[in-house]
Amino acid sequence: MSADGVLTVQADTADSSLGWATLGSHRWRCALGAGGIREDKVEGDGATPAGEFPLRRFYFRNDRLVLPKVGLPARPISRNDGWCDDPRADAYNRLVHVPNDWSHEKMWRDDGLYDLVVVVGYNDDPPEGEWGSAIFLHIARDDMAATRGCVAFARADLLELVPLITRDTRLRVLSHPANEQAPPPSEEEELVKEFEDFDEKEWS
C-alpha cells in the first residue's frame, strides 16, 4: 500500500505521549496514550496499540460541527450512545445504548473530545480477551495531554484529516519512537513484504 493510503503514527520518544501522524504529504501533531505504545496492550493500561489497523467509521456531534464530505460511513452521536469497555459483556468494544449494566464510555461529552471520532478497527473482528477497547482518532485537549490509548489531534487538524480517509486507509502505529532506529524486520515480515511486492506479470 502506498504512503497515501497509510496514516503512520510515531511517538517522539519512548517516554513521550506526543508524536506525529503522516498521511502522504500531510503531517499533523498528535497526542498518544499515557501508557505509551505497546504491542501487548490490555484493557485499562492507557496504551496506544502498536500495529496496523483499518479505519471503520465516523461518529460526530452534528450540533457542534458540520462534517465534511467523507469516505467512510458516518452517524451523528446521540445522548444515549456509549461504548462498552467491559470485557465480560457480549457488547465489549461496541457502540451501546446507555444507561446499561456494563461499564462503558459516554460518547456524548461536554468537553468536545468526541465531537468527531474515527473508529479504529482494533480488537473488533471479533473483540477478544481483555486486549482493549474504544481506540479512536478524536479531538485532543487544548494542551495536547496524553490520551487513554487513542490518537488525538487538534480540532482543525482532525477536520483536515478526515476527508483524506477512504475505505482503504490504514492506521499504522509504529512501536519504535522517532529518536530510535527501527528494529530490523523479522523473517516473517520479510516474507510478507516479498508477497506484497510480487508482480505476477514478471512470472514466466
Please determine, for residue 183, whether its predicted confidence score (pLDDT) is greater than 80: no
SS3 assignment, position 160: helix
User: For the chain, how many structural domains are there in total?
Assistant: 1
Reply yes or no on whether the pLDDT at 43 is more than 60.
Answer: yes
In a domain, 138, yes or no: yes
- The answer to the question of residue 160 being in a domain is yes
∠ CA 81-159-73, nearest 5°, is: 50
Q: How far is Cα 131 from Cα 116, in angstroms, rounded to an integer?
A: 24
SS3 190: helix
pLDDT digits (tens, 9 = 90+) for 110-143: 999 999 999 999 999 999 989 999 999 999 999 9
Q: Reply yes or no on whether the pLDDT at 203 is more than 50.
A: no
CATH number at residue 116: 2.40.440.10
End-to-end Cα distance, the chain: 25
Q: Is residue 78 part of a domain?
A: no
In this prediction the pTM is 0.88
pLDDT above 60 (res 197): no
Mean pLDDT of the chain: 92
Q: Looking at the domain assignment, is residue 85 inside a domain?
A: no
Query: Based on C-alpha coordinates, what's the Rg of the chain?
Result: 17
Query: Which pLDDT score is estimated for 4?
Result: 72
- Does residue 86 lie within any of the structural domains? no
Domain of 52? 3-58+109-202
In this structure, is residue 134 part of a structural domain? yes
The yes-or-no verdict on residue 99 having pLDDT over 50 is: yes
pLDDT tier at 1, thresholds 50, 70, 90:
low
- Backbone torsions φ then ψ of 162, nearest 5 degrees: -60, -35
Residue 79 is assigned to a structural domain of this protein = no
Determine, yes or no, domain membership for 22. Answer: yes
